[in-house]
Structure 1
């Protein structure tokens, strides 16, 4: 039995974490491009924006909604300073997975990595919304042994037509990342796949 196995595993884990942080930082500072951008937000909150939200939050405190606004506002840092937030989800082929992070004023407030398995495929599931039992179609990376990775959600009441509109985006995602499209999904939405797709 290797007496240093636990130490070696810890060092390997720390090195992997460091590599993930380096790649996330490079994306955050525009030193590197992701292989595929699933979702990205770049938001700047100025002191005047924060002041407006402070006033709105104070006015809405009596009905309870203002407390939520004020809590979100105070997470944005000091009122007299600009807050720059970059967040998103990115496919990184070099690491074999998806990085999700949030960076506020050059400090990571969230950083996760989910590995994409070799047998993974792009599939779908339905997500409930609202109190009336409505469902939205959402594309996901199906990892046979691990957790699934959320891609993007479709709006609209007719999921087949929405699938057809998004099919070119799915094909582009599959070609750029090397993750195949699930045959079950293709069979389910076959009549909405564009003929030139």
Structure 2
């Protein structure tokens, strides 16, 4: 039966600790993004209210000045041009608000999916363990990574799979790429449940 040298074990402990720090940083980033989402939502609602008020004021002023202006063709043309310019500005603002709303919806869907994954049992392929989590392995592009603290180590896993067979297939691909020690583990609510059969 193979054994682990004490220095390798200490190195593994360090690696796991580093992964835990990364996980905590990611959780802090998620909290920060949630605060930004709430702030953006409030700003969007305030901007929508101000835009609505602006529309009412513009329409009131336009109709009031149209009633007071003389009936010459020149005055009517100027009022019409001002109204069209105001409407174009309002349409531009509405389009901008729609774009911001779509961006917020995308971010919200990401966080909802992350919460769903945390509540469901998933399978992931662990590729490394660290004693401390000072290593910055996380990238914004790697959304399917799992960082878990399994005392005293921090584990770093790739992929979020719904079935064991998918995770085993992915593990085989990683082994072919040179990750000989990779293994499949199941997770639920952000905690590792057990190490699964690799085949």
Q: TM-score range by the shorter chain?
A: under 0.3
Give the TM-score normalised by structure 1.
Answer: 0.25
Normalised to the residue count of structure 2, the TM-score between the two structures is 0.25
Where is the helix percentage greater, Structure 1 or Structure 2?
Answer: 2
- Tell me which structure has the larger Cα radius of gyration: 2
